[in-house]
Structure 1
């Protein structure tokens, strides 16, 4: 069974990027722990470099990862530039990444872009936690903490972000995402609503959207409606 290492950036004396009363260190540990729980629900082992507001050095993070054998190392972060001047998500690999790192980065990036974040692409960088870890490694920048629109997406679509990241990670280790069991309409007396991801007059455009959804692990199909 696969074993993963999740790394939540900054913490303790290092809050990371901040904006108003918001701290990167808080956002990533809170979100990342929920992604970890979703992945664990599918039988995958997930170890974490921190689980609370602790100071953890870069060396401590890479040493933690190097102390075990992992299939993937995934570092969670949020970006910052100048207030309200930049937005979007980007996912990093080390320089000249292996195929596994690149595939995971592309899948993670797609899972966030489809939720409405601006696509800043998959990039390469000489970051310590990418360079000094043994496992295939990626670093995620989940929107700009100094951008109101990105913060709104981060908050409003939190559950979708957690699910999308879990699906992308699980797909990379060959595990199909399983929805949590929910009562049927007859059992609960509730009406359920299906969500559409767009309507297109050109079938090719519809097929392209379906493929994008499938690539990040979402069930999708084309339904034909005649006006």
Structure 2
């Protein structure tokens, strides 16, 4: 049977990803994802795209799509960004942890891209990322150079076909060398099924409900009050997303609430005010400005 690989173009729709001098990450991600997907399809791989047009999907929706398809691999395409233009350069690939076939595939991808002129920044474990944590198969997230680095953009533009070929060949080469073992799949499924510390696994859309509290609720005609710690209030979705992802990467039970024309980044949902206060103190120690809300 052929392998099934979910190809994910990061960001999209209302979420442009990184932006630099009019260049939007979501566009670069989509063009490269489709190019790699087409090359894999020609070699007999069954390819499923999370998107082929400019639409927004939450990270949780992408992971769910891959799980429902019972895919063998999940590969997400992104581009990196730094605080200052031309501050950093290079490619890196992110995985849930540094083990198994996903590690091998990530190293092969980075090595292939470095041969085209990119600096190899290595393979890094990022267990807080939803698309790596909640997928039930080996998953990778490729950061194909820095969007706000002129050298990386020149390579990206002049060698896009070669980049797509290098990634596809690295994936196919890994599949020739190894197969997804039952141990790989069981490990991924176990982690995906593990209860998350977060009250929400993803960024929510504007009509999303409030988060489900971590404890079981007792049926009651009177709605309970839950205390949440707010760390940010934004008009621009991208800014809220940035804070949200930072919090999730640090293991905080963070979520996004769209309300009254603003995007609110909040943490936790507690029945006891004292628990919210403890969380607030922890967040403040990590440098966040906070307030407790209900």
TM-score bracket, shorter-length normalisation: 0.7 to 0.9
Q: Which protein has the bigger strand share? A: 2
1:98, CA displacement in angstroms?
3.4
CA root-mean-square deviation:
1.1
Instruction: Report if the CA contact (8 A) 1:93-1:139 is conserved.
Output: yes
1:62-77 map, 5 Å: 62-77=63-78
Instruction: Report if the CA contact (8 A) 1:115-1:161 is conserved.
Output: yes
Could you say which structure has the larger radius of gyration?
2
Match of 1:26 in 2: 27
Match of 1:141 in 2: 143
1:59, CA displacement in angstroms?
1.3
1:83, CA displacement in angstroms?
1.0
Counterpart Cα distance in 2 of 1:169 and 1:145: 23
Counterpart Cα distance in 1 of 2:47 and 2:26: 19
Q: Residue 176 of structure 2: SS of its match in structure 1?
A: coil
1:98-117 map, 5 Å: 98-117=99-118
Q: Residue 12 of structure 2: SS of its match in structure 1?
A: coil
Are 1:169 and 2:180 counterparts? no
Instruction: Report if the CA contact (8 A) 1:10-1:55 is conserved.
Output: yes
Gaps of 5+ in 2: 178-294
Are 1:123 and 2:88 counterparts? no
Match of 1:5 in 2: 6
In the TM superposition, structure 1's runs of 4+ consecutive aligned residues that sit over 4 Å from their partners are: none
Q: Residue 174 of structure 1: SS of its match in structure 2?
A: helix
Gaps of 5+ in 1: 176-227
What per-residue deviation string (whole Å, max 9, x for no partner) do you get for residues 128-159 of structure 1? Answer: 10000011011100000000100000011111
- What's the TM-score, normalizing by structure 1? 0.75
1:116, CA displacement in angstroms?
0.4
- What's the TM-score, normalizing by structure 2? 0.58
Question: May I ask how many residue pairs the two structures share in their alignment?
Answer: 174
1:110, CA displacement in angstroms?
0.5
1:58, CA displacement in angstroms?
1.0
Match of 2:283 in 1: none
Q: Residue 54 of structure 2: SS of its match in structure 1?
A: coil
Match of 1:212 in 2: none
